[in-house]
Structure 1
Amino acid sequence: MELPTRLFNDYPIEFKKIKSKNISGFEKPKFGKTKNPNGFNVKKSTFETGTSKYINEDLQPLIDLKKKNTTVINAPVGNGKSYAIIQTIKRFYESKEQDYLIVVATPFVSLVEQYVTDIHDDGKIPTEQIYNYSNLGRNEVSYLNKKIQVVTINTLLGNAGEDSYKNSRVKREYLDSLIDDCEKKGRKVVFIYDEIHDSIQNFKEEYVFNLWKWKNVIHKNFIISATFTESSYIVIEYLAELTDKQVHIIEFPRIKRRENQSKLFIHYSSSYRFTNDTPEIQSLTAELLKKGKNIDILCYSKTLAKSLISDKNIGGKLEKKFGKINDCTSENISNQRLINEAPQNRFDNAKCNIGTNFKSGVSITKENHAYIIILPPRSTQGKFKNHYGIFSSGITSIIQAIARQRKFGEIHIISPRPKEFDYKTLKDMSPKQEETFIEFYNKVKHHDSNLKEEDKVKYFDLRKQRTLIESFYVNELHGNVVNGITLSKATERADLARLDFPPYKNFQLNEGEKYLASTYDFFGSDLSAYVTYCAITDQFVNCHLEGFTYKSTLFFEEGKIQKQLNKYYEEYFTDAFKPWYFTDMNFYMNFENFRNRLFSEFEIKLKKKDTHDFETVTKGKNSLFEQQLIRFGAFKSYGTDYYYTADYANRNKDREYTRGQYFRDCIAIASTFEANPLINYPEEFLERINIFKDLSYFRDKMIAKIAQHTKGQNTYSYLPCKPFTNFIDRSEISKFENIIDYFTRKDQLLSNGINTISTRLTGSFEKKVNSFYKILIEDFFTYEIRNTTPRITIGTTPNNQVFPNIEAINLSTTKNIANLIFSAEIAELEYDNHPERDYYFTLLESYNLE
């Protein structure tokens, strides 16, 4: 299909805008008084369109060096944000009117190194005036005489990491010395917080007091990001308190500059888990190597990254091409080092990098580059918590990861199929845009017929985030314990540990983004859905959708289909909360779900015996393959309880599921069906039930006609080889014609794959009766095959050929058979109106199946 992005060329890029009123309630309406409940003064400068390709020219005139405030810069990736920051640093460094100490605080050690280099190269500032905090403890170089200090944000706030309760003594002395020196010399301090989205976790209540130690010398804060979040507002408020609550927001538009955009390719995989053997990972790496691309791979998990590096087909070939792979997985889990040595696992533009630690804070500047991003597979989706690794923080992590590509190249995302979308929630699309969106999304979605309407992915405007967080806090979190809070406050608790319920803003800071990312598919619970939406609607600043793949090829060989179905089933259809795909109570519903998904998500290739070529299998058009699918579904549904025990014992072999088996199974189900008077059944279903009851009628009529013949001492049962008199009498003609019409025109399984009989049931009435009789003999009876067919006298008619020792094949007395009568629709009707529905619902819940 044609890529959808051409219809969305002018579709605006959605991004998190910083609203003045969300900063401590400040609001300045066009008419009426300014609302300023907490003493904040907020100014906002917005560019609808940038006057320059890069933001520096627009930014610098807005920065007043003398003005004490907190400046918030909301700017897109790839528009010279870092360069503009360095030019700002240079202005403060060169100021003649005031002596400034400039503290650059970054989320990552790798960014510290990058800033130290760039400040010197792009700012033309002597290295003697730039101090890298990483040198603490490594050498005796003085830092007090240097005007620029580059540190990590967790160092600045005293966050020593999860496994330690205080920052190192050396770091504390370093920061205290800087404060003392500034107070003695009258230096004013300018703080620059870059990539603030990756540092929110540092701004916990107990750490913020470390910033208040700078209160007497602080002059200005710069807070910079391309992906602000709801939690960012609390950080802005914390920092603005130190600059007399003066805030200046500078916001730049997200403009698509096609000449700079990389080509985006999405490779949808149906694999339940992603490993080094996942076909999409293997084939993509091989293809890019063949094209001579420079390759880097960002993985959602450390385990996967390590396995790719050690894999002979991936890591081995990459190492042969590029030299030793640069393992970019974090070796420092606890955020501590016994000695202060430089980490060895940073991204290197001169090497092939595979790992987890370059989704942010890195600029990939390679030529002829292919950047592979592997998202979390379906196996990481938990019932109560997702295990998304480096992408656990939600959509900001995806935007930042994609933005690492700074030069024109290729970005390849390996993604699970997204959950089905609730298209009614789409906003601001023309009818044609919406139609195109739906067509594309339907091709790549994960097929789950059991997905409830309320569980589909819903689009949310980014402006809705605050309302969602507030609603949860007020109605669910706080509302659930409000009585307990009231009682605790009315109780004397002197000398006991503090017992205060966290106020909303603390929840917004510490848990807001986690709540959104874990609760709402569109905000990170289903990362593939968000990436797909953004790719279709052209939302990424630095790339545009150039291509996609969504069907893996599954190869089968006649005689090995059952074994191969089992293999692919384990790889693609295993679900954490439904150990088997067929565990629900209706066979046909689950069989059709499995079959539909198999043909929707995969291209099926089959090689028949004594041939060399694989042919494409079309749904419902290959008798051999369809028979094996039915057998496979029955084996998975019933296991050792399957009615055909001999067939189950040979479940790894490709045995035939015959037309007779199909007829007998359907008759067994239809004969036990009792209509629920509360249900208005579809006409098609009732017709199907009646057809198989009528088929059973003619079977029973033939069984009643079995007679005995004795010749000498030999007695055997028989039926004539030709229809007996009144096999179909005048009153049964319409019943007979309905059966013929149904099986030749309406029965999908007979006309499209199981065992076609339409060519045998044509011609004159007599011919159709003879053929029908022979089909019933074949499918409902067994008899002795002799070299010469016996001829006997029946009644007064001599010389009649008969089937000797004929016996009727028994019907199933259990429901553990392939129920190809009940559709998914009928199963739902029966379930919803079942007198013991609540019991079944409880049972399903106990198995985590709902």
Structure 2
Amino acid sequence: MKGEFIDPINGVEIEFKQINTDDFESKYYSVEKEIIKPNKKGYLADSLKPILDDEFDVKNTVVINAGVGQGKSRTIMDKVLDYSMSKEYIVIIAVPSNNLIEQYETDCLVRGIAPDNIFNIIRINQYDFLKSEKEMTSHAINFFHVDDTDLIRKSNISDFRVHIMTTNALLGNPGENFIFPASKRINYFEKLVDHCNINKKKLIIVFDEIHDAIQNFREEYIYKLWNFQNLVHKTFIISATFNEASKEVIKYISEFTEKKIKIIESERVIIPARQSKLNFIFNDYKKINNNTFYKELIVKLLNSKSTFDIIVYSKKQIKQLIKNGPLSQIKGELNLCYRDVFDFENDNDKKYDHDEKVINVGTNFTTGINIEKKDHIYIIILPKRLKIDFVNNRGVFTNGVNTIIQTLARQRLPGEIYIIMPTPYYINAKSLPYDSEINTQIVNSFQKYASGKVVSYSDTNKEKKLLNKAYKKLTDLNTKASENIQNTERTGMNSLDYPSKERFILEKGENYLTQKFFDGDLSTYTFFAALNNQFLNCRINKLYRDNKIIFEKGSFFETIQEMYNDYAFDVVPPGVEGGYKEERYAEYYSEFYVWNKLLNMLPSKEFYFEGGKRDATPAEIVFIKRYLLMLVISHGKIDREFTSRELGKELTHAYLKSCIRFSNIPLFEDEAKYYTKTEYNDDYPISITDANLILHYKKWDEYINLIENEIFLYKNKRILPKFPSTDFVNKFKKEKFNTELENLLTIDPIISADIIPFKDTYSNTVKAKRVESFFNLLIDSFFSKNIKDIQPTINGKREQRHYRDIARIDLAQFYLNLLYDKIPSAIL
């Protein structure tokens, strides 16, 4: 494998979500913040432990914001040991998922906490003090039968000094399909609360990996936490990747500790000796197994018997990797670890295996798991881009950049990491906040390696303003409704309150911010962060990209078809079996999007002909684009070969029909302001240029209507003069439509690129003949007619030649949309 070496850009501080005192209103919360530094090896125990020791008995909520791999969890687990040794305290450790419980139990055992003093909620069915009389009777009958359950001695709630459970369990979340938690859980928590009350025990609650449990903190479950009111002495809230929703959780939790909050924030410091080599494989194909570099990498690892793991974004992706790729050779040896959404209680049989000889392929080790294998190769496959807004294809990466940071951090020892992802988009130079030298380096790198649209830089510490703006917009849109409700007597009616801002942030805020951060594009952020050395545990090393497309002699059409299949067919709407269904395609997609997906890919490619002996000529590049556009129009199905000239003619009529059809739908208004950004429609996907294009083609429809109205009957035949009428010419001149058409040659991306041969044809026509040229274009594109014309005699006078059997083509069932991406959601 031959890759391009990339040196990171120096001088950019590591950016992370800060938790600051001004995030909490001073009139409600007592907040202090302390910044600590890791030692020379990158660990913070030396500076964190003294603070925790000094505040051992202080009642407060401690927020620890420290980088991945800096040892925050280990330091807290040492403190768990200290609390467990005191008869005054009981510790609850809440983690995001079942597959982390065993790890934390092991951490407790290693520190000397006796097994009989640790409650593990996964084994809740095995504890005698929670069994019903029926279960105990059944146990007595089978007295002489010994199994693993019998090896656990008879226990009591008072035996346990440390309780390990999921955050969901602590919050009393029964799961999506149930109303009540399991009866044993209800019984367990009642006994725990009673034990604390009767014996005056104080609770220490540790929320570790809080970033991965935010979605569980819904208002109805936070409400249930109040069962522990007056019992909680201290809480620890720990993460390397806090988000805005975390701040709302901190506020809720701090109410149990008299709203006292202590923020401990660690500086993020790069320790080069601890960094793995980070390599990128750009992949814009539908199937990973089609990528040359991925295949070479896996074959190389298998042949060398190297240790490696692969994390993917979905369970479906696991199956695809194994089915037809090089992993199929060893599928029986792979440990497939994923979370089964239908397995509500137990996913231990699908967990990550730490054995150095085991190859793990799965989805459920993006957080919490420490991979400490020597010279380990870690492969991360990011999801392909998908343009249907309501379809989430990101799987485990749904939460965006925080998941990327956490996933990379699983590699604890220096080795190699490969990220397979779509080619990043370009970065908007004006959005960059650094000095001119650094900005220039960033832009130059993106110009060299990126393709497609332009994405703006996002500042993670300014997201609070975005949420405030979004919530204000929502409330402003409902001002009238709010006034009507307040002015109406509703005593005795059902509760009707607009969601509070904190509820909005908890339930919808992070999803909104994920879509906004770097325009929601994971690849662009990941490459940007790597380029600027933002990841503590890895440093950018090499880039692998296959940017050459070679046309062998006699294989032009096959190669073009392959390009289309690789880069476009993956955007067929999900659930459409066997290909495209026109109505669904038009509703969720537009050919505009598919075409631009292809077009954005082209600048990153180098085209060669004659087996790579020579570069493609400009005319051949146009031919490639025309053929790709024809494939987009035909949804990948072309049953014959075309010359470039034939394609130009076919595409002209199809493209113009599309523009007229989709500029004339009733949902659009006549003013450009309805399409473009204002204070309250900043989510519109149509730019000012596109809006002007739409409005321009709406005018074409007026000329088509004028022609249609001039058709008349002659001897039962619909005929029309083969030259523009006086009304047509006058309208053309009065509206200075020649100037508008000249402008069209530059603003229409398909026309300006000569993909349809309108630019040269119109530009080379003398101005006096342009009205006639425009008339003929409309006739050829929007009217059907007999190939034989007619020369009628009207009122005894022999007229000029007329079109015969002419009729306007009905575009109502014409679904091809090459004019814009899709209808703005605000208009819909």
Q: Give the TM-score normalised by structure 2.
A: 0.71
Aligned 8 A contact 1:318 1:352 in 2: no
**Structure 1 residues 691 and 842, CA gap change in structure 2 (3 angstroms):** closer
**Structure 1 residues 597 and 180, CA gap change in structure 2 (3 angstroms):** closer
Aligned 8 A contact 2:335 2:352 in 1: yes
**Post-superposition CA distance 1:377-421 (Å, at most 9, x none):** 02x332455431111112111111111111111111111122332
Deviation at 1:53, TM superposition (A): 3.0
Over alpha carbons, which structure has the higher Rg?
1
Deviation at 1:274, TM superposition (A): 3.7
| Structure 2 residue 112 is the aligned partner of structure 1 residue 124 | yes
| Structure 2 residue 334 is the aligned partner of structure 1 residue 325 | yes
Deviation at 1:564, TM superposition (A): 2.5
Counterpart for residue 550 of structure 1: 545
Matches within 5 A, 1:457-536: 457-475=455-473, 477-518=474-515, 520-522=516-518, 525-536=520-531
Counterpart for residue 79 of structure 1: 70
Give the secondary structure class of the aligned counterpart of 1:16: coil
RMSD: 4.0
AA matched with 2:114: P
Counterpart for residue 133 of structure 1: 121
AA matched with 1:129: N
CA distance in 2, matches of 1:650, 1:397: 47
Deviation at 1:543, TM superposition (A): 0.5
CA distance in 2, matches of 1:466, 1:665: 48
Matches within 5 A, 1:250-265: 250-265=264-279
CA distance in 2, matches of 1:325, 1:392: 25
CA distance in 2, matches of 1:661, 1:495: 69
Deviation at 1:538, TM superposition (A): 0.8
* Unaligned runs of at least 5 residues, structure 1: 27-35, 449-455, 584-588, 609-613, 643-647, 698-810, 817-839
Counterpart for residue 444 of structure 2: 439
CA distance in 2, matches of 1:841, 1:316: 41
Give the secondary structure class of the aligned counterpart of 1:372: strand
CA distance in 2, matches of 1:533, 1:328: 30
CA distance in 1, matches of 2:362, 2:95: 21
**Structure 1 residues 381 and 293, CA gap change in structure 2 (3 angstroms):** farther
| Structure 2 residue 57 is the aligned partner of structure 1 residue 66 | yes
Deviation at 1:185, TM superposition (A): 1.5
**Structure 1 residues 650 and 118, CA gap change in structure 2 (3 angstroms):** same
Which of 629, 633, 650 does residue 640 from structure 2 map onto? 650
AA matched with 2:380: I
Counterpart for residue 20 of structure 1: 21
Aligned 8 A contact 1:162 1:335 in 2: no
| Structure 2 residue 160 is the aligned partner of structure 1 residue 146 | yes
Counterpart for residue 848 of structure 1: 822
Give the secondary structure class of the aligned counterpart of 1:181: helix
AA matched with 1:534: A
Aligned 8 A contact 2:8 2:539 in 1: no
**Structure 1 residues 50 and 488, CA gap change in structure 2 (3 angstroms):** farther
CA distance in 1, matches of 2:820, 2:622: 34
Give the secondary structure class of the aligned counterpart of 2:203: strand
Matches within 5 A, 1:795-814: 814=780
Aligned 8 A contact 1:263 1:411 in 2: yes
Matches within 5 A, 1:324-723: 324-331=333-340, 333-334=341-342, 336-337=344-345, 343-350=348-355, 351-378=358-385, 380-384=386-390, 386-431=392-437, 433-447=438-452, 456-475=454-473, 477-518=474-515, 520-522=516-518, 525-574=520-569, 576=571, 600-604=603-607, 614-615=611-612, 617-620=614-617, 629=624, 632-633=627-628, 635-636=630-631, 650-651=640-641, 676-678=738-740
Of residues 101-110 and 418-427 in structure 1, the stretch that sits farther from structure 2 once superposed is 418-427
Counterpart for residue 789 of structure 1: none
Counterpart for residue 314 of structure 1: 326
Deviation at 1:489, TM superposition (A): 2.5
CA distance in 2, matches of 1:257, 1:388: 31
CA distance in 1, matches of 2:124, 2:601: 59
Which of 274, 296, 313 does residue 283 from structure 1 map onto? 296
Task: Tell me: higher relative CO, structure 1 or 2? Use CA pairs within 8 A at least 6 residues apart.
Answer: 2
**Structure 1 residues 496 and 569, CA gap change in structure 2 (3 angstroms):** same
Aligned 8 A contact 1:52 1:58 in 2: no
**Post-superposition CA distance 1:149-200 (Å, at most 9, x none):** 1111100111121121221111111111111112111211111110001111
**Post-superposition CA distance 1:742-784 (Å, at most 9, x none):** xxxxxxxxxxxxxxxxxxxxxxxxxxxxxxxxxxxxxxxxxxx
CA distance in 1, matches of 2:626, 2:511: 45
Give the secondary structure class of the aligned counterpart of 2:223: helix
* Unaligned runs of at least 5 residues, structure 2: 129-151, 574-579, 587-591, 656-722, 725-731, 747-751, 770-776, 783-813
Aligned 8 A contact 2:550 2:612 in 1: no
**Structure 1 residues 262 and 633, CA gap change in structure 2 (3 angstroms):** closer
| Structure 2 residue 175 is the aligned partner of structure 1 residue 161 | yes
Matches within 5 A, 1:740-779: none
**Structure 1 residues 194 and 630, CA gap change in structure 2 (3 angstroms):** closer
CA distance in 1, matches of 2:598, 2:404: 33
Aligned 8 A contact 2:99 2:348 in 1: no
Which of 221, 234, 240 does residue 207 from structure 1 map onto? 221
| Structure 2 residue 13 is the aligned partner of structure 1 residue 41 | no
Percentage of matched positions with identical amino acids: 29
Deviation at 1:534, TM superposition (A): 0.2
**Post-superposition CA distance 1:82-136 (Å, at most 9, x none):** 21111111221234xx521111111111211001001211x22222322211111
CA distance in 2, matches of 1:62, 1:435: 42
Deviation at 1:239, TM superposition (A): 0.9
Aligned 8 A contact 1:298 1:358 in 2: yes
**Post-superposition CA distance 1:18-44 (Å, at most 9, x none):** 011112x12xxxxxxxxx2x2x21111
Give the secondary structure class of the aligned counterpart of 1:72: strand
Counterpart for residue 808 of structure 1: none
CA distance in 1, matches of 2:400, 2:463: 13
**Structure 1 residues 554 and 402, CA gap change in structure 2 (3 angstroms):** same
**Post-superposition CA distance 1:458-494 (Å, at most 9, x none):** 112112100001101112x111112112211222323
Give the secondary structure class of the aligned counterpart of 1:344: helix
| Structure 2 residue 278 is the aligned partner of structure 1 residue 267 | no
AA matched with 2:822: N
CA distance in 1, matches of 2:819, 2:643: 37
| Structure 2 residue 100 is the aligned partner of structure 1 residue 111 | yes
Deviation at 1:241, TM superposition (A): 0.3
**Structure 1 residues 444 and 846, CA gap change in structure 2 (3 angstroms):** closer
**Post-superposition CA distance 1:427-474 (Å, at most 9, x none):** 11342x2222122212332335xxxxxxx3211211210000110111
Deviation at 1:261, TM superposition (A): 0.6
